[in-house]
Structure 1
């Protein structure tokens, strides 16, 4: 009987510890908040905050681009050369690209798509080989100079290629 009472007391104490009560977590305004409420100007915050995404979402751009794209299927194959010119996210007549509309739309949605930063030395990448393809992209997107290279030598490079596939005009591995 005593064991049941002790277990009941522990269970109630555990629930009480998990349930916010008055005064348990003050809001930014200094008063206690016991129910979720949306934050807004002068709001009291929210008891259930949504996690902030670790990757910032791209800000749409103007969709203006002038790019030269060279894709080399293998070391011995002839290179494929594309020209992509976008105005307001729409391909211009001088574009010579297999997926020009998709490429211009992708660049307008995410103008930083082709901006590659050096990979941190401690970044772990899958050790898988995606193929001998390489690609080089030079030019401008919304006035920002682009000079990026792509290859399929490991998981990180394969992911970068896949993200830029609409612009590269090729899916990379297996294409």
Structure 2
């Protein structure tokens, strides 16, 4: 929301700057522009976490399927909703993005952590999320484990 407000302010300033010399020459001085609105604090919906976690081939039938996770307040049918929300809050406080893919060119150990896969979609910290997880190599295993208990332990 702040980015959108800043972009609107920059574009408005650029338009006014470009139009001002011609307008002043033709019709005299321009009136002062209205002050920009102050950014509003983030609303609850902007900061709320609402995720769908879909897990398959985890080796535990109770950990497989699609689960809804909501934070602030904690809700949904995720089997570990409160610890999962606590972990997501911890990661947000650290300033890390747990949903970022493994960077290109990363050197990963060639170990196989099993066939488990997961997809997380929804909103986290006011940002759209659509991330895929696997346990195909050391980097992906680390990424999965970093999001436990949002993602289940696997056998």
Tell me if TM exceeds 0.5.
yes
TM-score normalised by length of structure 1: 0.54
Asked whether the 8 Å contact 2:48–2:70 carries over to 1, the reply is yes
Distance in structure 1 (CA, Å) of the matches to 2:113 and 2:47 = 30
Q: How many residues align?
A: 104
Give the TM-score taking structure 2 as reference length.
0.60
Larger RCO of the pair (alpha carbons < 8 Å, separation 6+): 2
Q: Which has the larger radius of gyration?
A: 1
Normalized per residue, the structure richer in helix is 2
The equivalences for 1:10-25 within 5 A come to none
Displaced runs of 4+ in structure 1, greater than 3 A? Answer: none
Q: Which runs of 5+ in 1 are unaligned?
A: 1-61
SS of corresponding position for 1:67: strand
Q: CA RMSD in A?
A: 2.2
Distance of 1:64 and 1:161 partners within structure 2: 22
* Residue 144 in structure 1 maps to residue 104 in structure 2: no
Q: What 5-or-longer segments of structure 2 have no aligned partner?
A: 1-45
Separation (CA, whole Å) in 1 of partners of 2:114 and 2:107: 19
The alignment status of 1:110 with 2:95, answered yes or no, reads no
State the 1:142 CA deviation: 1.4
Query: Structure 2: how far apart are the matches of 1:101 and 1:137?
Result: 17
